[in-house]
């Protein structure tokens, strides 16, 4: 059967929800009776929508712990905020608005999907998403405006949700970055900002 003749997503969703006219439902049933591919899709959709909302993440690869002392030693100094001082030069003052990216500036970049830099977000449940690079592990870090890390996580996924225990203050600005780790940091998103919505 040619692909264009298969059921549409609306027909499948409508059929499962009993949300079709009798004529449309008959059409869907006749198609399903004849098309094993669409029956398979229907059943797969049933299984996927029956799955619990929170699905366990796949087993992470063997975690490489070696980077932790490296990170501690570095004090996450890759992300530094240059504080303005009365005697600071104009150039130094300009850097207050954005943390310097330090030695990772020339690294390959990790494309950010969400949240876009500078975006206003809710105080909880922020979902960070980025494009994958060839790396075993990604390390995401959220920092205060002062550059103090408040949450860091190592993951093999390219998405991570800020856990509820990490409380972001309404109206405050935070920085976040993602580093790809494979025998050292091999790529970075650079520093992105997010602003927490006022309550």
Partner 1 sequence: MTSRSPTSLENLLVASNQHLRELAWAEFLRDHSDLFLRVARSMGGDNDAVMDRYAFVLDALRGDDFQRLRVWVSGGRGEFAVWLVVVVRRLCLDQRRQRYGRQQGATASSNEQHAQRRQLVDLVGDELALARVAGNDAESPEHLLRVAELRTALLHALDALPTSDRLLLRLRFEDELSVPTVARAIGVESPFPVYRRLENLLRVLRQALERVGVHDSSP
Of the candidates 197, 195, 193, the residue with the CA atom closest to the CA atom of residue 177: 193
56, 59, 188, 190, 192 from 102: Cα distances, Å: 36, 33, 11, 9, 14
Among 119, 148, 167, 170, binds partner 1 (CB under 8 A): 119
| Residue 125 beta carbon to partner 1: minimum distance, rounded to whole angstroms | 5
Q: Is 36 in the site for partner 1 (CB under 8 A)?
A: yes
User: Could you give the CA distance from residue 33 to residue 39 in angstroms, rounded to a whole number?
Assistant: 8
89: left (phi over 0), alpha (psi -120 to 50) or beta: beta
Residue 143 structure tokens: 């920092």
Q: Which stretch binds partner 1 (CB under 8 A): 17-25, 65-73, 164-172, 180-188?
A: 17-25
Among 63, 64, 85, 131, binds partner 1 (CB under 8 A): 131
| Residue 20 beta carbon to partner 1: minimum distance, rounded to whole angstroms | 6
| Residue 180 beta carbon to partner 1: minimum distance, rounded to whole angstroms | 12
Q: Is 125 in the site for partner 1 (CB under 8 A)?
A: yes
Residues 61-80 that bind partner 1 (CB under 8 A): 61
Q: Is 198 in the site for partner 1 (CB under 8 A)?
A: no
User: Could you give the CA distance from residue 37 to residue 10 in angstroms, rounded to a whole number?
Assistant: 16
| Residue 43 beta carbon to partner 1: minimum distance, rounded to whole angstroms | 6
Among 88, 95, 152, 156, binds partner 1 (CB under 8 A): 156
Q: For partner 1, how many residues bind (rule: CB under 8 A)?
A: 60
Of the candidates 115, 175, 128, the residue with the CA atom closest to the CA atom of residue 155: 128
DSSP letter at 63 equals P
Of the candidates 85, 93, 193, the residue with the CA atom closest to the CA atom of residue 143: 193
Q: Which residues make up the interface to partner 1 (CB under 8 A)?
A: 1, 8-20, 26, 29-30, 32-33, 35-37, 39-51, 53-55, 57-58, 61, 113-116, 119-122, 125-127, 129, 131-132, 156-159, 161
């Amino acid at each position: 059967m040619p692909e264009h003749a298969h059921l549409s997503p609306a027909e499948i969703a409508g059929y499962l929800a009993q949300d079709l006219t009798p004529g449309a439902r008959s059409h869907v049933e006749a198609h399903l009776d004849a098309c094993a591919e669409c029956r398979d899709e229907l059943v797969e959709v049933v299984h996927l929508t029956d799955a619990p909302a929170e699905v366990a993440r796949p087993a992470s690869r063997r975690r490489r712990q070696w980077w932790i002392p490296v990170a501690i030693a570095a004090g996450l100094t890759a992300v530094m905020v240059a504080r303005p001082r009365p005697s600071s030069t104009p150039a130094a003052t300009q850097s207050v608005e954005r943390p310097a990216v330090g030695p990772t500036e020339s690294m390959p970049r990790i494309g950010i999907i969400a949240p876009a830099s500078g975006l206003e977000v809710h105080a909880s449940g922020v979902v960070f998403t980025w494009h994958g690079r060839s790396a075993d592990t990604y390390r995401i870090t959220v920092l205060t405006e002062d550059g103090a890390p408040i949450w860091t996580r190592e993951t093999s996924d390219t998405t991570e949700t800020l856990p509820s225990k990490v409380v972001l203050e309404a109206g405050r600005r935070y920085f976040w970055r993602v580093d790809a780790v494979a025998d050292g940091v091999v790529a970075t998103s650079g520093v992105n900002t997010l602003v927490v919505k006022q309550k």
